[in-house]
Chain A
Amino acid sequence: MDPQVKDITLNGETRSSRAQSLSELLVELGVNETALVAELNGSIVPQTDFTSTGISAGDTIELVRFVGGG
Chain B
Amino acid sequence: MSNLQETYARTDDDPLLLGGRVLKSRLFLGTGKLGREDLIPELAHVSGAQVITVAMRRVDLSSRKGNILAHVPDHMQLLPNTSGARTAEEAVRIARLSRACGAGDWIKIEVISDAANLLPDGYATAKATEILAKEGFVVLPYINPDLYVARDLVNAGAAAVMPLGAPIGSNRGLQTKEMIRILIAEINLPIIVDAGLGAPSQACEAMEMGVSACLVNTAIATAANPTRMAAAFALAIASGRAAHLAGLGRVLDKGSAASSPEEGRLTAFLET
Q: Do A and B bind each other?
A: yes
Q: Taking beta carbons and an 8 Å cutoff, which residues of A are in contact with B?
A: 10-12, 29, 31, 33-37, 39, 44-47, 62-70
The number of chain B residues with a CB under 8 A from chain A is: 34
Residues from chain A with Cβ under 8 Å of B168 in the complex: 70
Given A44-B96, A66-B68, A69-B54, decide whether A35 and B59 contact each other with a Cβ distance below 8 A.
no
A-B interface contact total, Cβ < 8 Å? 93
Given A63-B58, A68-B54, decide whether A37 and B68 contact each other with a Cβ distance below 8 A.
no
Cβ-defined contact, B96 with A67, below 8 A: no
Question: Of the 9-residue stretches B7-15, B29-37, B174-182, which lies at the interface with chain A?
Answer: B29-37
CB contact list, B64-115 vs A, under 8 A = 65, 67-69, 80-81, 83, 96-98, 100-103
- In the bound complex, how far is the Cα of B65 from the Cα of A34, in angstroms? 12
Residues from chain B with Cβ under 8 Å of A46 in the complex: 100-102
- In the bound complex, how far is the Cα of B65 from the Cα of A36, in angstroms? 13
Q: Taking beta carbons and an 8 Å cutoff, which residues of B are in contact with A?
A: 30-34, 37, 53-59, 61, 65, 67-69, 80-81, 83, 96-98, 100-103, 168-169, 195, 215, 217-218
Cβ-defined contact, A69 with B97, below 8 A: no
Cβ-defined contact, B67 with A35, below 8 A: yes
- In the bound complex, how far is the Cα of B96 from the Cα of A59, in angstroms? 20
Chain B residue with minimal CB distance to A49? B100
Cβ-defined contact, A65 with B34, below 8 A: no
The residue that B59 contacts in the complex, of A11, A69, A70, with Cβ under 8 A, is A11
Chain B residue with minimal CB distance to A45? B100
Interface centre among B55, B101, B215 (most CB of A within 10 A): B101
